[in-house]
Amino acid sequence: MSSKYLALMVLLLLPLAGAQSVTLTTSASVTPSQISVGESGTMDITFKNIGSTYASNIRLTISSSEIIDFKQTSFSIGNLEAGSSKTISVPITVKSSITGTASVRVSVKYGVGEGADRTEELSVPVAIGGVVILRVSNITYGTAIPGKPIDFSLDIENVGKGSAANIKAELALAGLPFVPVEGDVIEYIPSISAQSSKTISFKLQISKGVDIKAYSLPVMLTYEDASGKIYNATRTIGVKLSGKADIIVLLDKRPIAGPNAKTTIAIANRGDMTAEFLTIRFESPYGSKTAYVGKLDPDDYETIDVDQVAPSSNYKMSVTITYKDSYSNEVDEKNEIDISTVQVKKDYTIYIVLIIIALVLILRYKKIIKI
């Protein structure tokens, strides 16, 4: 072959050899679009070869970060043919309390066919949102009396660093002595920004005849953070019902004047709260007694016998009442009872009968003697 033809073939082949190239594009996205502190997500990195030959021995290295934790930082992708693409998913967790955007540095190395390595750098933004923390505060209500309505007012407060959206607050009334008076027991709040609050209110009816004590009222919260993640939480508020025990003491059975007299005293609770650890102390110049009753419910009563040496005249008995109410408050009360004794009238009939019998016997005896 002549040198002219050889030179021509070399010139024709040179452009063909130069056309063999790799154009590797790298893109990344983070799911969810915003991640809160302590939450996890995924960083998806996509490689696409739009060149004319394959990319060889693709390697991915993620730089360490004080803000984001990676379970794995080095990946071997292998080869990527021309016109092909590949995506890898990298689990990530936000470990810093900052908010805003953090940049993750990614280094990609690959070869052009069997040629030398190339290195490309990529910065992936990760949006970090603050944690949403909702709590219930500033609880106010009027006097909670059984059988009466009561107005509740409370604040839903966001003490976190992220905004909350689509908030639903619902009172869980199952098994509790409360029923809604107007509407339902659900309130909706469009949003609450960080370090702010919203006030909601409810109107409830308290059932009659319930125990006077403190009840725990759950408030169920459903809300979303900035990334759209849904959270459920339950907060509890305390509601103290108002009432009191009203202990009265009455003379139930009058004593009979004389020694070994027995005075029966009735103790009743005409209030609407149970008296716990009820103790009664009776004192008079003619005898005293301490009696432990224990628990005395509303509209209930007990009787106690007090042994005394009752005089023929009426007298007073002092009564000291000690108990604890449903909230463990100790109550001491003093009272006084007028005791009227039963006077026993002497019956001389037996003596008269005996005298008559004696006279009859004497008369008969005299007659017998005369005979």
Domain annotation covers residue 271? yes
Interatomic CA distance for residues 205 and 176, integer angstroms:
11
Within this chain, do residues 57 and 153 fall inside the same structural domain, yes or no? no
Which CATH number belongs to the domain containing residue 322 in this structure? 2.60.40.10
Number of domains present in the structure of the chain:
3
Last residue of a domain, one of 180, 215, 240: 240
Within this chain, do residues 332 and 297 fall inside the same structural domain, yes or no? yes
Last residue of a domain, one of 105, 129, 153: 129
Within this chain, do residues 122 and 190 fall inside the same structural domain, yes or no? no
Last residue of a domain, one of 112, 129, 146: 129
pLDDT tens digit string along 151-167? 989 999 999 888 899 99
Find out whether the peptide bond into 32 is cis, omega within 30 degrees of 0: yes
Within this chain, do residues 87 and 160 fall inside the same structural domain, yes or no? no
Domain annotation covers residue 57? yes
Interatomic CA distance for residues 197 and 313, integer angstroms:
72
Within this chain, do residues 232 and 253 fall inside the same structural domain, yes or no? no
Residue given tokens 């967790």 in the structure block: 93
Domain annotation covers residue 61? yes
Within this chain, do residues 150 and 183 fall inside the same structural domain, yes or no? yes
Domain annotation covers residue 236? yes
Within this chain, do residues 64 and 152 fall inside the same structural domain, yes or no? no
Domain annotation covers residue 348? no
Within this chain, do residues 23 and 99 fall inside the same structural domain, yes or no? yes
Can you give the pTM of this predicted structure? 0.60
Choice between 3 and 349, residue whose per-residue pLDDT is larger: 349
pLDDT band at 196 (very low <50, low <70, confident <90, very high): very high
pLDDT(206) > 90: yes
Within this chain, do residues 221 and 317 fall inside the same structural domain, yes or no? no
pLDDT tens digit string along 328-364? 899 999 999 998 888 765 555 676 777 888 877 777 7
For the beta carbon of residue 85, count every other beta carbon within 10 angstroms: 14
Average pLDDT over residues 267-277: 92
Within this chain, do residues 232 and 145 fall inside the same structural domain, yes or no? yes
pLDDT(1) > 90: no
4-9 CB contacts, 8 Å cutoff, 24+ apart: none
pLDDT band at 65 (very low <50, low <70, confident <90, very high): confident
Across the chain, mean pLDDT equals: 86
Within this chain, do residues 228 and 298 fall inside the same structural domain, yes or no? no
Q: At 51, phi and psi to the nearest 5?
A: -85, -165
Domain annotation covers residue 9? no
Within this chain, do residues 155 and 229 fall inside the same structural domain, yes or no? yes
Tell me which residue range forms the domain holding 235: 134-240
The pLDDT value recorded for residue 344 is 64
Domain annotation covers residue 361? no
pLDDT tens digit string along 133-142? 999 999 999 8
Domain annotation covers residue 100? yes
